[in-house]
């Protein structure tokens, strides 16, 4: 039976290992994304804003991540202080460990012991130690998330633009840059997200003639301008599925479909938002805007500038903070919003540690509905690309959900 079929047995959530259970098999690589997500969530609880902590609270609870007694209080610690905290706590709680920072990783059983100590006494200092120890983790995805966590502890997001990470947190910087070329694409994306500023080559789309009838668009995320599998391109399987199996038959198929640089920089996203508005004005009003990752912020920026959208679909978007007046403009220009995400998305978590983003907009500023596939398939956790895969749309009949949002009951507005 496929996950999309109706069956009451699927009503019982299928959950990944919770908390220390993710260490039950030692350094088993299968659970590395889970352990990375838990580490990132711990770091967000330690350094994140109240909005971030509340947005991630349910995922953290379902993964067995403990509440911290002093959450939100850990920011701006020099990296040598972080190292000292880690060495002290490791000595206190893991007898006989042979960890040497930067030289020899901690034994998996000792790392699990340190995590168990964190569960027993959940404090920001324990998170600090646990993150620093994992800078030497043998699994790239865990090491990348540790780099993102330590970077956020040492250099808060507000200071990242003028405090060089390579000098303020050299060990975190080394862990992150070392994962940029990882054979694990999830580790590489976490590292690139935490570092920011990575370029994606490409030129802007050429203008075209005006199209008077409504159109719908697909907007890619970071580093997706030149990739082999372009879900947003007219020739892709997902693009064809949306056009043929939903009512969104007007999804734009011209060769001049919208692209942007895909660089992980605020300036590039702002420029892309302005270009999207210009692109739309030459073609026609937007009915549905499908967007992935930071492509969602590109669309939100265009809406803030004047774009109107009947249905906004945010897939795995780390929603960046906006001023209240900006959210008010967005709310007035969007008919409905549908958020598609996976639970414990490590890329979104890493982005939150860098930018202050959340996995979905606050319902009080932008009412929305969510599609979260965690209950039907354990593999749907920790997946930043789940909803841009054709097979996911087939398995879960996502096209029907889009049609429902286009014609269903209105989203309650607070």
Owner of token pair 């975190």: 172
**What average pLDDT does range 336-340 have in this prediction?**
96
- Lowest mean pLDDT of 178-192, 291-305, 306-320, 369-383, name the range: 369-383
What pLDDT score was predicted for residue 157? 76
DSSP 250: T
**Residue 133: pLDDT above 90?**
no
Q: What pLDDT shows up at residue 235?
A: 93
C-alpha span between 181 and 176 (Å, rounded): 10
Mean pLDDT over residues 124-131, rounded?
A: 87
Of residues 217 and 78, the one with the higher pLDDT is 217
**Phi first, then psi: what are they for 284, rounded to 5°?**
140, 165
Question: Is the predicted pLDDT of residue 42 greater than 90, yes or no?
Answer: yes
Instruction: Report how far residue 261's alpha carbon sits from residue 146's, in angstroms, rounded to the nearest whole number.
Output: 28
Domains in the chain, start-ordered, CATH in brackets?
A: 19-195 (no CATH), 215-407 (3.40.50)
Lowest-pLDDT range of 49-53, 114-118, 261-265, 361-365: 114-118
pLDDT at 97: 62
What token pair was written down for 50?
Answer: 């109240």
Q: In the predicted model, is pLDDT for residue 74 greater than 70?
A: no
In this prediction, residues 290-307 reach a mean pLDDT of: 97
Q: Please tell me the least confidently modeled range out of 63-67, 89-93, 208-212.
A: 208-212
The answer to whether 311 and 338 have CB atoms below 8 angstroms apart is yes
Residue 259 is encoded by which pair of tokens?
């692209």
Within 8 A by CB and 6+ apart from 25, the residues are: 31
Provide the 10 A C-beta neighbour count for residue 15: 15
pLDDT score of 365 more than 90: yes
Please report the pLDDT score of residue 186 as a whole number. 93
| Angstrom distances, CA of residue 178 to CA of 78, 129, 138, 166, 353 | 21, 21, 12, 13, 19
Q: pLDDT band for position 241 (50/70/90)?
A: very high
Dump pLDDT digits (tens) for 173-210.
999 999 998 999 999 999 999 988 543 322 233 333 44
Helices (H), 121-206: 124-133, 140-154, 165-168, 170-179, 185-195
Give the Cα separation of 219 and 18 in Å (integer): 34
Output the pLDDT for position 9: 40
Q: Residue 311: what are its φ and ψ, rounded to 5°?
A: -135, 120
What pLDDT, on the 0 to 100 scale, is given for residue 394? 94
Task: Report whether 390 contacts 241 (CB < 8 A).
Answer: yes
Least confident of 13-22, 33-42, 62-71, 326-335: 13-22
As a whole number of angstroms, the distance between CA 214 and CA 302 comes to: 17
Instruction: Using the predicted structure, report yes or no on whether residue 72 has a pLDDT greater than 80.
Output: no
Asked if pLDDT for residue 26 goes beyond 80, the answer is: no
Q: What is the pLDDT of residue 375?
A: 62
Report the predicted TM-score, pTM, of the whole model to 2 decimal places: 0.83
Q: Taking a C-beta distance cutoff of 8 angstroms, is the pair 254, 279 a contact? A: no
Reading the block at residue 206, the tokens are 């050429």
Residue 36 contacts residue 142 (beta carbons within 8 Å): yes
Q: Do residues 180 and 195 touch, judged by C-beta distance below 8 A? A: yes
């Amino acid at each position: 039976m496929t996950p999309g079929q109706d069956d009451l047995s699927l009503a019982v959530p299928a959950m990944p290992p919770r908390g220390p259970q993710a260490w039950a098999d030692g350094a088993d690589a299968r659970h590395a994304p889970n352990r990375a997500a838990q580490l990132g969530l711990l770091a967000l609880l330690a350094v994140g804003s109240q909005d971030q902590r509340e947005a991630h609270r349910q995922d953290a609870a379902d993964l067995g991540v403990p509440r911290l007694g002093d959450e939100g209080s850990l920011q701006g610690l020099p990296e040598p202080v972080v190292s000292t905290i880690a060495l002290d706590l490791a000595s206190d709680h893991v007898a006989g460990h042979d960890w040497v920072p930067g030289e020899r990783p901690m034994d998996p059983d000792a790392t699990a012991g340190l995590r168990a100590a964190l569960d027993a006494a959940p404090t920001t200092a324990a998170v600090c130690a646990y993150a620093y120890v994992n800078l030497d983790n043998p699994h790239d995805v865990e090491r990348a998330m540790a780099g993102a966590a330590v970077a956020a502890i040492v250099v808060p997001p507000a200071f990242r633009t003028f405090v060089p990470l390579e000098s303020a947190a050299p060990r975190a910087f080394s862990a992150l840059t070392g994962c940029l070329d990882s054979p694990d694409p999830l580790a590489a994306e976490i590292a690139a997200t935490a570092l920011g500023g990575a370029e994606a080559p490409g030129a802007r789309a050429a203008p075209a003639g005006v199209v008077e009838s409504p159109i719908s668009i697909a907007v890619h995320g970071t580093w997706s301008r030149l990739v082999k599998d372009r879900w947003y391109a007219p020739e892709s399987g997902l693009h064809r599925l949306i056009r043929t199996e939903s009512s969104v038959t007007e999804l734009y198929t011209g060769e001049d479909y919208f692209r942007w640089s895909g660089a992980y920089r605020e300036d590039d996203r702002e420029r892309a938002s302005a270009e999207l508005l210009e692109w739309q004005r030459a073609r026609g009003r937007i009915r549905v805007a499908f967007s992935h990752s930071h492509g969602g912020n590109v669309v939100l920026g265009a809406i803030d500038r004047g774009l109107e959208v009947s249905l906004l679909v945010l897939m795995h978007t780390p929603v960046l903070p906006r001023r209240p007046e900006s959210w008010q403009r967005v709310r007035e220009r969007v008919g409905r919003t549908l958020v598609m995400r996976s639970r414990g998305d490590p890329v979104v978590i890493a982005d939150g540690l860098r930018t202050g983003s959340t996995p979905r907009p606050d319902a009080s500023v932008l009412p929305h509905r969510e599609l979260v596939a965690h209950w039907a398939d354990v593999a749907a956790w920790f997946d930043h690309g789940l909803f841009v895969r054709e097979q996911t749309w087939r398995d879960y009949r996502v096209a029907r959900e889009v049609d429902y949002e286009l014609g269903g009951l209105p989203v309650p507005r607070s």
